């Protein structure tokens, strides 16, 4: 796989899954815009990891601070990337509203307000909408591009009913498929990667060991996903190896959900 000359934007790439994806893209030769919200130190660490990983293939990276929930912020970020690098070939919408994956302390349906759903909807579909709206004009102009949206296997198998989070991720799947249908004739592909529980990340650091063990026992590959496990399928969907795929959801959960 060779992504030399490609420019990628990864949102929420300061740490965790986003950082692993950004590093993997750079390792394959891409120039990566590492988007982050507020943690300058974490973003700098991701950039350094990208630059180290990309040495042999010519990959590079730089940090771009922006709130993907803000349309003006996103437009300014995208305009800056295009000025700096000439284009954006790959977009990975990984950023989401902070969420704690704790089965015991989660809110039950009767404890939720619609504002909880709205906050997660804005953080998932809303952020992807802002980014896609900003990047698509230059992708259409060049009749090429790959967009990968990070969703969740909970949409297919809500082993824990995180109502607001999972509903928002389901909306992102639908958003992606509608966009794939419209953009396909223009040479732009839109796909999703759906991880299971990924450990360790900021959202899963307080998930109890007993629950993690029970989930591993139910998973054919007998372990949880690591951030690096999510990066491989993203690379595949970002590259020409998946050039005849769009509107698809790749499940990355060790076989917990089989389709």
Strand partners for 60: 31
In DSSP notation, the chain reads ---TT-EEEETT-SSHHHHHHHHHHHHTT-EEEEEESS-HHHHHHHHHHHHHHTTTTT-EEEEEE--TT-HHHHHHHHHHHHHHHS---EEEE---------TTTSPPGGG--HHHHHHHHIIIIIHHHHHHHHHHHHHHHHT-EEEEEE--GGGT--SS--HHHHHHHHHHHHHHHHHHHHHGGGTEEEEEEEE--BSSSTTTTTS-HHHHHHHHHHSTT-SPBPHHHHHHHHHHHHSGGGTT--S-EEEESTTSS--
- What strand order describes the sheet that includes 249-252? 60-65, 31-36, 7-10, 90-93, 145-150, 188-195, 249-252
CA of residue 192 relative to chain centroid, distance: 8
Residue 37 contacts residue 118 (beta carbons within 8 Å): no
36 is catalytic: no
Parallel, antiparallel or unpaired: strands 188-195 and 90-93: unpaired
Catalytic residue (choose from 36, 99, 162, 165): 165
Catalytic residues: 165
């Amino acid at each position: 796989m060779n992504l030399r000359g490609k420019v990628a934007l990864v949102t929420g790439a300061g740490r965790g899954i986003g950082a692993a994806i950004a590093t993997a893209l750079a390792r394959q030769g891409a120039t990566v815009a590492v988007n982050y919200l507020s943690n300058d130190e974490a973003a700098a660490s991701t950039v350094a990891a990208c630059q180290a990983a990309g040495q042999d293939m010519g990959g590079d990276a730089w940090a771009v601070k922006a709130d993907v929930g803000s349309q003006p912020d996103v437009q300014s970020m995208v305009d800056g990337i295009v000025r700096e690098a000439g284009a954006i070939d790959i977009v990975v919408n990984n950023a989401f509203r902070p969420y704690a994956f704790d089965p015991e302390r989660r809110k039950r349906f009767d404890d939720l307000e619609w504002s909880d759903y709205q906050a997660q909807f804005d953080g998932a579909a809303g952020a992807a909408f802002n980014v896609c709206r900003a990047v698509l004009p230059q992708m259409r102009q060049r009749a090429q591009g790959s967009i990968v949206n990070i969703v969740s296997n909970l949409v297919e198998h809500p082993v824990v009913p995180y109502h607001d989070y999972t509903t928002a991720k389901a909306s992102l799947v639908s958003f992606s498929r509608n966009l794939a249908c419209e953009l396909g004739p223009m040479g732009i592909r839109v796909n999703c990667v759906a991880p299971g529980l990924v450990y360790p990340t900021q959202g899963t650091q307080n998930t109890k060991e007993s629950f993690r063990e029970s989930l591993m026992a139910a998973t054919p590959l007998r372990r949880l996903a690591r951030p690096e496990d999510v990066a491989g399928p993203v690379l595949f969907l970002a590259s020409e190896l998946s050039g005849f795929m769009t509107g698809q959801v790749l499940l990355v959960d060790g076989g917990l959900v089989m389709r």
